[in-house]
Amino acid sequence: MNTKKYEKTNQKKQTLAQRYMLPRKEQRRKQMFYKVLQEELGRFLSIEMPENARFDWEVFKEDFANEYQNFTSDELLEEILLTTPKFVTEQAVINRYNELTRETKNKIASFESRNRNRYAKSS
C-alpha cells in the first residue's frame, strides 16, 4: 500500500481563517508576553538599584531585546511563570498586559488633553 498517497489525502486543508489569523495570533501572544516580561523585570531592577543610582530604561530595553528577541511566545510565557511569583497562569499574564495597555492609553489621552488646551486658539 502506498502510505504517502494515504497521508496526503488524509491531511486536512487549512481554512482561510487558520492561514491568515493563526500567524497573527502567535505574533500577538509574543508581543503580550514580551511586554509583560520587560515591564516586570524593568520595574524589579529599578527598585533594586542603589538609592543614588538612576535606572536607564533605554539601556535596559536594548539589553532586554538582545536577550529575548528570539524567544517564542511559549518560551516567554514560561520565563514569566518561572520567574515572577505573582503570575501563575497565562490568563494572569494576559490580564497584566491589558492593564499595561490601559495605563498607556490613559497617559496618552491625559497628555493630549493637556496639550490640546495649551495650544488651542482663542476666538
Amino acid 30: pLDDT: 95
What whole-number distance in Å separates Cα of residue 25 and Cα of residue 74? Answer: 12
Rounded average pLDDT over 56-66:
95
The predicted model scores a pTM of: 0.71
Amino acid 117: pLDDT: 62
31 in Cβ contact with 69 (< 8 Å): no
- pLDDT tens string 2-18: 555 545 555 678 888 88
Taking Cα atoms as reference points, which of 79, 83, 101 lies closest to residue 33?
79
What whole-number distance in Å separates Cα of residue 82 and Cα of residue 85? Answer: 7
* Residue ranges in 1-123 assigned as alpha helix (H): 3-10, 16-48, 57-68, 73-83, 90-119
39 in Cβ contact with 102 (< 8 Å): no
